[in-house]
Chains A and B, each alone.
Chain A
Amino acid sequence: GQSLEQPSEVTAVEGAIVQINCTYQTSGFYGLSWYQQHDGGAPTFLSYNALDGLEETGRFSSFLSRSDSYGYLLLQELQMKDSASYFCAVSGNQGGKLIFGQGTELSVKP
Protein backbone atom coordinates (compact mmCIF):
# COMPACT_ATOMS: atom_id res chain seq x y z
CA GLY A 1 0.00 0.00 0.00
CA GLN A 2 0.86 3.64 0.10
CA SER A 3 1.00 6.04 3.05
CA LEU A 4 2.19 9.60 3.51
CA GLU A 5 2.84 11.67 6.61
CA GLN A 6 2.92 15.43 6.80
CA PRO A 7 2.27 17.88 9.67
CA SER A 8 -1.37 18.83 10.09
CA GLU A 9 -0.77 22.53 10.76
CA VAL A 10 1.97 25.11 10.35
CA THR A 11 1.84 28.79 11.29
CA ALA A 12 4.27 31.46 10.10
CA VAL A 13 4.45 35.23 9.63
CA GLU A 14 4.51 37.23 6.44
CA GLY A 15 7.92 37.37 4.85
CA ALA A 16 9.17 34.26 6.63
CA ILE A 17 10.27 30.91 5.22
CA VAL A 18 8.42 27.72 5.99
CA GLN A 19 9.20 24.09 5.22
CA ILE A 20 6.50 21.40 5.01
CA ASN A 21 7.88 17.89 5.29
CA CYS A 22 6.46 14.73 3.80
CA THR A 23 7.54 11.14 4.37
CA TYR A 24 6.07 8.35 2.33
CA GLN A 25 5.85 4.61 1.95
CA THR A 26 4.89 3.22 -1.40
CA SER A 27 5.61 0.37 -3.76
CA GLY A 28 7.16 1.26 -7.08
CA PHE A 29 7.70 4.95 -6.41
CA TYR A 30 7.63 7.26 -9.44
CA GLY A 31 7.52 10.71 -7.95
CA LEU A 32 6.33 13.16 -5.32
CA SER A 33 3.98 16.02 -6.13
CA TRP A 34 2.79 19.01 -4.16
CA TYR A 35 -0.61 20.67 -4.41
CA GLN A 36 -2.08 23.83 -2.91
CA GLN A 37 -5.75 24.14 -2.07
CA HIS A 38 -7.45 27.27 -0.81
CA ASP A 39 -10.69 26.96 1.15
CA GLY A 40 -13.52 26.28 -1.29
CA GLY A 41 -11.14 25.95 -4.22
CA ALA A 42 -9.66 23.20 -6.34
CA PRO A 43 -6.25 21.66 -5.69
CA THR A 44 -3.61 23.36 -7.81
CA PHE A 45 -0.40 21.65 -8.88
CA LEU A 46 2.79 23.23 -7.49
CA SER A 47 5.66 20.88 -8.26
CA TYR A 48 6.79 17.36 -9.07
CA ASN A 49 10.05 15.61 -8.14
CA ALA A 50 11.00 12.31 -9.69
CA LEU A 51 14.73 12.59 -9.02
CA ASP A 52 16.70 13.49 -5.90
CA GLY A 53 17.39 17.15 -5.38
CA LEU A 54 15.83 20.55 -5.27
CA GLU A 55 13.41 22.00 -7.84
CA GLU A 56 12.82 25.74 -7.66
CA THR A 57 9.83 27.59 -9.07
CA GLY A 58 9.74 31.19 -7.97
CA ARG A 59 9.09 31.47 -4.23
CA PHE A 60 8.38 27.75 -3.96
CA SER A 61 10.94 24.95 -3.98
CA SER A 62 10.51 21.22 -3.56
CA PHE A 63 13.07 18.65 -2.50
CA LEU A 64 13.18 14.89 -2.77
CA SER A 65 15.40 12.21 -1.27
CA ARG A 66 14.39 8.84 -2.68
CA SER A 67 16.72 6.93 -0.38
CA ASP A 68 15.06 8.51 2.68
CA SER A 69 11.52 8.38 1.24
CA TYR A 70 11.30 12.04 2.17
CA GLY A 71 10.51 15.31 0.56
CA TYR A 72 9.66 18.85 1.51
CA LEU A 73 8.05 21.96 0.13
CA LEU A 74 9.82 25.23 0.92
CA LEU A 75 7.88 28.47 0.72
CA GLN A 76 9.87 31.69 0.86
CA GLU A 77 8.82 35.31 1.35
CA LEU A 78 5.48 34.17 2.69
CA GLN A 79 2.44 36.18 1.74
CA MET A 80 -1.05 36.18 3.26
CA LYS A 81 -2.38 34.57 0.09
CA ASP A 82 -0.19 31.52 0.79
CA SER A 83 -2.58 30.57 3.62
CA ALA A 84 -4.01 27.31 2.31
CA SER A 85 -3.78 23.54 2.63
CA TYR A 86 -0.75 21.88 1.08
CA PHE A 87 -0.83 18.23 0.06
CA CYS A 88 2.03 15.97 -0.88
CA ALA A 89 1.07 13.14 -3.20
CA VAL A 90 2.87 10.06 -4.50
CA SER A 91 2.53 8.26 -7.78
CA GLY A 92 3.58 4.63 -7.72
CA ASN A 93 3.67 1.72 -10.08
CA GLN A 94 -0.08 1.52 -10.52
CA GLY A 95 -0.46 3.99 -13.35
CA GLY A 96 -2.94 6.72 -12.53
CA LYS A 97 -2.97 6.18 -8.80
CA LEU A 98 -1.94 9.53 -7.29
CA ILE A 99 -2.41 9.24 -3.54
CA PHE A 100 -2.57 12.34 -1.36
CA GLY A 101 -1.26 12.92 2.15
CA GLN A 102 -3.60 14.26 4.82
CA GLY A 103 -2.61 17.84 4.11
CA THR A 104 -0.89 20.62 6.02
CA GLU A 105 -2.91 23.71 6.82
CA LEU A 106 -0.62 26.73 6.55
CA SER A 107 -1.66 29.93 8.30
CA VAL A 108 0.29 33.06 7.45
CA LYS A 109 -0.08 35.82 10.03
CA PRO A 110 0.67 39.53 9.52
Chain B
Amino acid sequence: DTEVTQTPKHLVMGMTNKKSLKCEQHMGHRAMYWYKQKAKKPPELMFVYSYEKLSINESVPSRFSPECPNSSLLNLHLHALQPEDSALYLCASSQRVTGSGTGELFFGEGSRLTVL
Protein backbone atom coordinates (compact mmCIF):
# COMPACT_ATOMS: atom_id res chain seq x y z
CA ASP B 1 0.00 0.00 0.00
CA THR B 2 1.75 3.15 -1.21
CA GLU B 3 -1.09 5.61 -0.75
CA VAL B 4 -1.68 8.70 1.26
CA THR B 5 -5.42 9.18 1.66
CA GLN B 6 -6.97 12.57 2.35
CA THR B 7 -10.54 13.41 3.28
CA PRO B 8 -12.60 15.26 2.37
CA LYS B 9 -11.64 15.88 -1.25
CA HIS B 10 -13.62 19.13 -1.29
CA LEU B 11 -14.71 21.36 1.56
CA VAL B 12 -16.65 24.61 1.59
CA MET B 13 -16.82 26.47 4.86
CA GLY B 14 -17.83 29.82 6.24
CA MET B 15 -15.48 32.04 8.18
CA THR B 16 -17.07 31.07 11.50
CA ASN B 17 -17.05 27.32 10.91
CA LYS B 18 -14.80 24.70 12.48
CA LYS B 19 -13.77 21.81 10.28
CA SER B 20 -10.97 19.27 10.03
CA LEU B 21 -8.93 17.78 7.22
CA LYS B 22 -7.76 14.21 7.67
CA CYS B 23 -4.81 12.31 6.27
CA GLU B 24 -3.87 8.65 6.61
CA GLN B 25 -0.91 6.54 5.47
CA HIS B 26 -0.09 2.89 6.07
CA MET B 27 3.43 2.79 4.69
CA GLY B 28 5.08 2.90 8.12
CA HIS B 29 6.39 6.38 7.40
CA ARG B 30 7.49 8.35 10.45
CA ALA B 31 7.38 11.84 8.95
CA MET B 32 4.18 13.57 7.86
CA TYR B 33 3.64 16.99 6.36
CA TRP B 34 0.99 19.57 5.57
CA TYR B 35 1.48 21.74 2.51
CA LYS B 36 -0.72 24.48 1.10
CA GLN B 37 -0.91 25.05 -2.65
CA LYS B 38 -2.55 27.90 -4.52
CA ALA B 39 -3.30 27.66 -8.24
CA LYS B 40 -0.21 27.80 -10.46
CA LYS B 41 2.04 28.02 -7.40
CA PRO B 42 4.35 25.51 -5.71
CA PRO B 43 3.39 23.64 -2.55
CA GLU B 44 4.24 25.71 0.55
CA LEU B 45 5.30 23.89 3.67
CA MET B 46 3.08 24.46 6.71
CA PHE B 47 3.92 21.79 9.29
CA VAL B 48 6.20 18.80 9.72
CA TYR B 49 5.68 15.95 12.15
CA SER B 50 8.51 13.57 12.92
CA TYR B 51 7.76 10.52 15.05
CA GLU B 52 4.41 12.07 15.94
CA LYS B 53 5.97 15.23 17.31
CA LEU B 54 5.67 18.63 15.67
CA SER B 55 9.14 19.51 14.41
CA ILE B 56 8.47 22.42 12.07
CA ASN B 57 5.78 25.11 12.09
CA GLU B 58 6.38 27.57 9.27
CA SER B 59 4.85 30.47 11.19
CA VAL B 60 1.38 29.32 10.25
CA PRO B 61 -1.52 31.36 11.75
CA SER B 62 -3.13 29.74 14.78
CA ARG B 63 -6.42 29.33 12.92
CA PHE B 64 -4.69 26.24 11.49
CA SER B 65 -4.05 23.63 14.16
CA PRO B 66 -2.29 20.36 13.30
CA GLU B 67 -2.63 17.14 15.23
CA CYS B 68 -0.91 13.77 14.88
CA PRO B 69 -2.93 11.23 16.91
CA ASN B 70 -0.68 8.32 15.88
CA SER B 71 1.97 7.41 13.34
CA SER B 72 -0.59 6.80 10.58
CA LEU B 73 -2.87 9.79 11.02
CA LEU B 74 -2.51 13.51 10.58
CA ASN B 75 -5.26 16.06 11.04
CA LEU B 76 -5.50 19.75 10.29
CA HIS B 77 -8.12 21.57 12.33
CA LEU B 78 -9.52 24.72 10.78
CA HIS B 79 -11.23 27.55 12.64
CA ALA B 80 -12.15 31.11 11.72
CA LEU B 81 -10.50 30.91 8.33
CA GLN B 82 -10.33 33.76 5.85
CA PRO B 83 -11.25 33.67 2.16
CA GLU B 84 -7.53 33.93 1.28
CA ASP B 85 -7.03 30.56 2.98
CA SER B 86 -8.88 28.94 0.08
CA ALA B 87 -6.38 26.55 -1.48
CA LEU B 88 -5.47 22.91 -2.03
CA TYR B 89 -4.17 21.39 1.20
CA LEU B 90 -1.78 18.55 0.58
CA CYS B 91 -0.71 15.94 3.06
CA ALA B 92 2.51 14.03 2.47
CA SER B 93 4.59 11.40 4.20
CA SER B 94 8.14 10.07 4.01
CA GLN B 95 10.10 7.30 5.68
CA ARG B 96 11.90 9.89 7.73
CA VAL B 97 12.22 13.63 7.52
CA THR B 98 13.64 14.92 4.26
CA GLY B 99 17.19 16.11 4.56
CA SER B 100 18.30 12.87 6.18
CA GLY B 101 18.99 10.86 3.05
CA THR B 102 15.94 11.23 0.90
CA GLY B 103 13.91 13.90 -0.83
CA GLU B 104 11.01 11.59 -1.57
CA LEU B 105 7.61 12.60 -0.32
CA PHE B 106 4.42 10.68 -1.04
CA PHE B 107 1.57 13.13 -1.51
CA GLY B 108 -2.14 12.62 -1.12
CA GLU B 109 -4.56 13.97 -3.72
CA GLY B 110 -5.32 16.93 -1.49
CA SER B 111 -8.35 18.58 0.05
CA ARG B 112 -9.62 21.53 -1.94
CA LEU B 113 -10.84 24.12 0.53
CA THR B 114 -13.08 27.07 -0.27
CA VAL B 115 -13.71 29.65 2.44
CA LEU B 116 -16.72 31.87 1.86
Contacts and interface: CB of A to CB of B under 8 A. Distances in A.
Interface of A: 28, 30-33, 35, 41-45, 48, 50, 87, 89-103
Interface centre among A32, A42, A94 (most CB of B within 10 A): A42
A87 B42 CA distance: 7
Interface residues of B, number: 27
26 contacts: A30-B99, A30-B101, A31-B99, A31-B103, A42-B107, A42-B108, A43-B43, A43-B90, A44-B107, A50-B103, A91-B99, A91-B103, A94-B56, A94-B99, A95-B50, A95-B99, A95-B100, A97-B48, A97-B56, A98-B45, A98-B98, A98-B99, A98-B103, A98-B105, A100-B42, A102-B41
Interface of B: 31, 33, 40-45, 48, 50, 55-56, 90, 97-110
Majority secondary structure of chain B interface residues (helix, strand, loop or mixed): loop
Given A42-B109, A45-B106, A101-B42, 15 more contacts: A28-B99, A30-B98, A33-B104, A42-B90, A42-B107, A43-B90, A90-B103, A91-B103, A93-B99, A96-B99, A97-B48, A98-B33, A98-B45, A98-B105, A102-B41
A14 to B, nearest CB: 24
A35 B92 CA distance: 13
Contacts of B106: 45
In the A-B complex, the 6 residue pairs with the smallest Cβ-Cβ separation, listed nearest first, are: A33-B103, A96-B48, A100-B42, A96-B97, A91-B99, A42-B107
A47 to B, nearest CB: 9
A30 B90 contact: no
A95 B104 CA distance: 13
Contacts of A103: 40-42
Contacts of B45: 97-99
Contacts of A101: 42
